[in-house]
Amino acid sequence: MARMEIIQALKQILGDPLPGWEAQKLMMPETRRQFKPFNDNDLHPASVLISLFPKADDWYFPLIRRTEDGYAHSGQIALPGGRREGSETKVETALREAQEEVNLPAAQVSILGRTSPLPIPVSKHIVQPFVGYLDRQPSFQRAPKEVDEILLISLQDFTALDISTEIRQFSGVDFEIPYFEIMGHKVWGATGMILSEFKAILSRIT
């Protein structure tokens, strides 16, 4: 399938009913079950961006490795994004954060749609992922205080990923944690759940 045909198909699929929780929960860590029931109204809005760009004969998108800052998602692999500020819309949040974190030019991003929102109990956020694309590869630059590394993964490599699991110990208890291995890094937790749905969406492209 030609590159722009993939974009057109993806836009159409994002307008259809989404895989949602059925795809997200495939990557749900066992530790998530330890959180008490919560009200979405108690969670702070946040947004992330899956920003596709052409490279060689494929589409790629960036992931980031967060700095070791001592907060809930310290050092983890994530999508560019963050908390809503002021009265900005959810998509404005995603575009602003991507520009701040990896120098992705917001004005050049065409938004194709959104995937399903995901509550993140550990950091008390509810995150809305967006999918967009650019006509050319941007000149990525990381924000040193927030981002230690920028990873660029192709859709071909991403769609070929399998789910792996490992046992991790939290507070003296063993838990099973699913993850994707991407470029030598383990992608798990909320980012893994968001990417699990995105992978299910891409599987619908024929």
Per-residue pLDDT of the chain (206 residues; tens, 9 = 90+): 899 999 999 999 999 999 999 999 999 998 787 665 667 778 999 999 999 999 999 999 999 999 987 565 678 999 999 999 999 999 999 999 999 999 999 999 999 999 999 999 888 999 999 999 999 999 999 999 999 999 999 999 999 999 999 998 887 889 999 999 999 999 999 999 999 999 999 999 97
Q: What is the architecture, at CATH level 2, of domain 3-202?
A: Alpha-Beta Complex (3.90)
- Tell me the residue length of the chain: 206
What confidence score (pLDDT) does residue 71 get? 63
Would you state the pLDDT for residue 36?
58
Q: How high is the pLDDT of residue 144? A: 95
Among candidates 119, 109, 115, which has minimal Cα distance to 129? 115
Position 154 scores a pLDDT of: 98
| Dist CA 82 CA 55 (whole Å) | 26
Rounded Cα gap, residues 169 and 173, in angstroms? 5
To which H or E segment does residue 195 belong?
A: helix 189-202
Strands 147-154 and 58-66 turn out to be antiparallel
CB within 8 Å of 177: residues ≥ 6 apart = 29, 30, 31, 165, 166, 167, 168, 188
The residue type of 126 is I
Whether the model pTM is above 0.85: yes
What is the per-residue pLDDT for 72? Answer: 56
pLDDT at 172: 82
- At 182, is the secondary structure helix, strand, or coil? strand
- Residue 173: its pLDDT value, please? 85
Which pLDDT belongs to residue 46? 97
Question: By the 8 A CB rule, do 96 and 90 touch?
Answer: no
pLDDT, residue 70, reads 56
* Residue boundaries of the structural domains of the chain: 3-202
